[in-house]
Structure 1
Amino acid sequence: MESESNPMAPTIDRRRHFLDELFALADIRINGDRPWDMQLHRSAALDEIVARHSLGLGETYMRGDWSSPALDQFFHKLLRADLHKKAKPFRNLWRIARAYLVNLQSRGRAFQVGEQHYDLGNDFYQAMLDSRMTYSCGYWREAQDLEDAQTAKLDLICRKLGLQPGMRLLDIGCGWGSLLGYAAEKYGVECVGVSVSREQCHYIEQTYAELPIEVHLQDYRSLNRQFDRVASVGMFEHVGRKNHRAFMQVARRCLNKDGLLLLHTIGKNQRFSTTDAWIDKYIFPNGDLPSSGQICDGAEDLFIEEDLHNFGSDYDKTLMAWHRNFEARWDNFADTFDQTFYRMWRYYLLSCAGAFRARHIQLWQWIFSNKREGGVTRVV
């Protein structure tokens, strides 16, 4: 639950608004007394939300025009009621068309998300994440806390890939190197990682200097080395629908004939949709969640789909754990980031938690094999 307070009391004189009726469909009241209700601090914000949809909702929140004591519950209810479909502006038609006509994830744009999002500072992410700096969904099946959940996820990946001492593992979009470090230390493999974030590469070089790990600041499309296994954890969301096939071709040429690819990615339920406008502008520029059909299209005739595992509900728990860490340690960064950033970041974490809770988005682990004969690859 969000520990939000605002000195402005919700006593604004206003007429009944279209959003009163719309929010009622999701059991949300404006200036209601329940934790998930919207507390309105500027009446003009309602017109902006209607006119600008998700972008207006997020930006008015960032300005302090409204609040909600339980923002995660607010979004859970909002998305479960499919209100985004009932008040969709026509400008989204252009955004959908643009995603199909323009390659928003071209080589020239590849490093933009690294600079805007992942390079905020390693100390900032260390305060929010687990000890291994794992910035993707944990596996909470038997875990009691974030540390255990992320360790379980890393081990699950290693077991699904069947890692053995002496193997070579490529991690496309390696983050701060949690999988590289875990696989090298626990499974005795040699690891190579690629990232578009300078901060992440610097961290890996310093943290894992004693292990057989190398990391490169490069776009995945330039990869052309052979490996026994390839993994990509939380990176495919940045690939984009016009590049799904190119990604799979890169993974195929980097795998030996008995190789396996593990693809860990957030996914969407509908093929013909586009990225949330607020997330695209403020959090993950040029992001594009894939649908299951788009992933299969990209892999067709290149790989055999051996296994699909959905544990999207675990991302709700992961995001809420990150939010608790963020809130608990915000004072360490209050002089570095302003209150607008503070509200932006909590909106990001809690709105995404609500989205996973509502099953509006998913978390998939796919296993693809490079085999053309023999038995089915076993997965845990």
Structure 2
Amino acid sequence: MASAQDTAMGTNHGPKPEDREVPGVLIRLLELADVQLNGSRPWDIQVHDAALYDRVLRQGSLGFGEAYMDNAWDSKRLDETLYKLLSARLNTIKGFGKLRFLGAFLRNFLFNPQSRKRAFQVGEHHYDIGNDVYAAMLDPTMSYSCGYWKDAADLEQAQLAKLRLICDKLELKSGERLLDIGCGWGGLARFAAQNYGVEVTGITVSKEQQRFAQARCVGLPVSIELMDYRDLRGRFDKVVSVGMFEHVGPKNYPAYFATVGRVMVADGLFLLHTIGDYDHPRAPNPWIDKYIFPNGHVPSLQEVSKAIEHDFVLEDWHNFGQDYDATLMAWWKNFDLAWPRFADRYDERFYRMFKFYLNACAGYFRSRQGQLWQLVLSKYGRREIYRSIR
């Protein structure tokens, strides 16, 4: 993904913006979002290559994101530009953008993009690009999910508060066995083992994450396995999954929750931490699917509730999606400050790809299209009363 050959900068030899008339449909759509082309406000789009117009009309959000990577346009406040575009919900306007999303929708309806043989693709494509990049971007806990900013002053405090919140919601007790599905770089596993005295089994589909997590958990009762969740065996008192459910996909929800039910004891608790979409099920964003998280799917409220209603009791549903905005902007600040250390290994197009990714996601949560849910679930066999924690 980061090779010079694969990510060479666009040459921008297309027509100059002043030599090309802007399609009226684009002007009207941008007016709805209060965004102008070559305007004077920080969130206005500065066009460097008029080929941008055709790319957007032909390819929608994919062409828009790729044009940014190729330096065809810019913005002084990229996060605000994308926030305004998302808030205007331009993709819902009748007659615009529907056909471009039809192919992605049918792909997810007819096929299973998150099948067992595809399970490791996202690890290879995104999580394995380099632990040094993520170490520079994330906080010291290496948490790659939304922080909890209720009483936090910085990113590390927000992530430590999130880890503590999860452990307290799970009512972890010394000597219990905790399963961490999608354990990332082992931050939660390490925190829970050190502070709550539990034995942790973490699983990941990323070789780089496994290697890093194993090294940082040496001497603790923590095991980090490279495996698909469908291959899980054993019995656990508590189960947690943070930022992994977005890679499961609706066709696999029955298998996913059946796995949790099979390995969790009768009076156990399961905490599911996932991004959620405010709207009914939609096709994945094509740019995110191609460049960041292949085969991903952000669930809707309806999809989640339907998947759990027969097998689990919903003890708690907590939404703090607006905290993801602050988390993503903190990641972007860290990535941007650290970039000079990586510029000799990753080209400018890679830099612009990550900039677009982090700022677009911040806009997604700022617009409230994106939610962040923590669900606490129990099996019908649990008799103890659950007390919600905030």
TM tier, smaller: over 0.9
Counterpart for residue 43 of structure 1: 50
- Cα distance, 1:47 vs structure 2: 1.5
Counterpart for residue 5 of structure 2: none
Q: Distance in 1 between matches of 2:179 and 2:321?
A: 24
Q: Distance in 2 between matches of 1:83 and 1:11?
A: 23
The reply to whether residue 65 of structure 1 matches residue 67 of structure 2 is: no
Q: Secondary structure at the match of 1:12?
A: helix
Opposite residue 20 of structure 2, the aligned amino acid is R
- Cα distance, 1:95 vs structure 2: 1.4
Counterpart for residue 252 of structure 2: 243
Counterpart for residue 220 of structure 2: 211
Match of residue 282, structure 1, among 272, 287, 291: 291
Counterpart for residue 23 of structure 1: 30
| Bigger shift: residues 144-153 or 95-104 | 95-104
- Cα distance, 1:187 vs structure 2: 0.5
Q: Secondary structure at the match of 2:166?
A: helix
Counterpart for residue 264 of structure 2: 255
Counterpart for residue 199 of structure 2: 190
Tell me the alpha carbon deviations over residues 266-312 of structure 1, each in whole angstroms, 9 at most, x when there is no partner: 01122331110000000000000111111122212211011000000
Q: Distance in 2 between matches of 1:160 and 1:104?
A: 32
Q: Distance in 2 between matches of 1:12 and 1:186?
A: 61
Q: Secondary structure at the match of 2:330?
A: helix
Opposite residue 43 of structure 1, the aligned amino acid is A
Opposite residue 90 of structure 2, the aligned amino acid is L
Opposite residue 13 of structure 1, the aligned amino acid is D
Q: Distance in 2 between matches of 1:189 and 1:21?
A: 57
Counterpart for residue 84 of structure 1: 91
- Cα distance, 1:245 vs structure 2: 1.1
Counterpart for residue 9 of structure 2: none
Match of residue 75, structure 1, among 79, 82, 105: 82
CA contact (8 A) 1:127 1:329 kept: yes
Pairwise mapping of residues 1-380 of structure 1 onto structure 2 (< 5 A)? 12-17=18-23, 18-86=25-93, 87-372=96-381, 374-380=383-389
Q: Distance in 1 between matches of 2:193 and 2:368?
A: 34
Q: Distance in 2 between matches of 1:105 and 1:262?
A: 21
CA contact (8 A) 2:186 2:214 kept: no
Shift in CA distance, 373/182, structure 1 to aligned 2, threshold 3 Å: closer
CA contact (8 A) 1:12 1:42 kept: no
Q: Secondary structure at the match of 1:215?
A: strand
Q: Distance in 2 between matches of 1:220 and 1:374?
A: 27
Opposite residue 27 of structure 2, the aligned amino acid is D
Q: Secondary structure at the match of 1:90?
A: helix
Residue ranges of structure 2 left out of the alignment (5+ in a row): 1-11
Identity of aligned residues (%): 51
- Cα distance, 1:14 vs structure 2: 3.0
- Cα distance, 1:11 vs structure 2: 6.5
Q: TM-score, normalised by structure 1?
A: 0.96
Q: Distance in 1 between matches of 2:51 and 2:123?
A: 35
Alignment root-mean-square deviation, CA: 1.3
Q: Distance in 2 between matches of 1:357 and 1:190?
A: 37
Shift in CA distance, 349/373, structure 1 to aligned 2, threshold 3 Å: closer
Q: Size of the alignment, in residue pairs?
A: 372
Q: Distance in 2 between matches of 1:212 and 1:116?
A: 30
CA contact (8 A) 1:100 1:241 kept: no
Q: Secondary structure at the match of 1:351?
A: helix
Counterpart for residue 5 of structure 1: none
Q: TM-score, normalised by structure 2?
A: 0.93
- Cα distance, 1:131 vs structure 2: 0.3
Residue ranges of structure 1 left out of the alignment (5+ in a row): 1-7
Q: Secondary structure at the match of 1:377?
A: coil
Q: Secondary structure at the match of 1:322?
A: helix
Opposite residue 256 of structure 1, the aligned amino acid is V
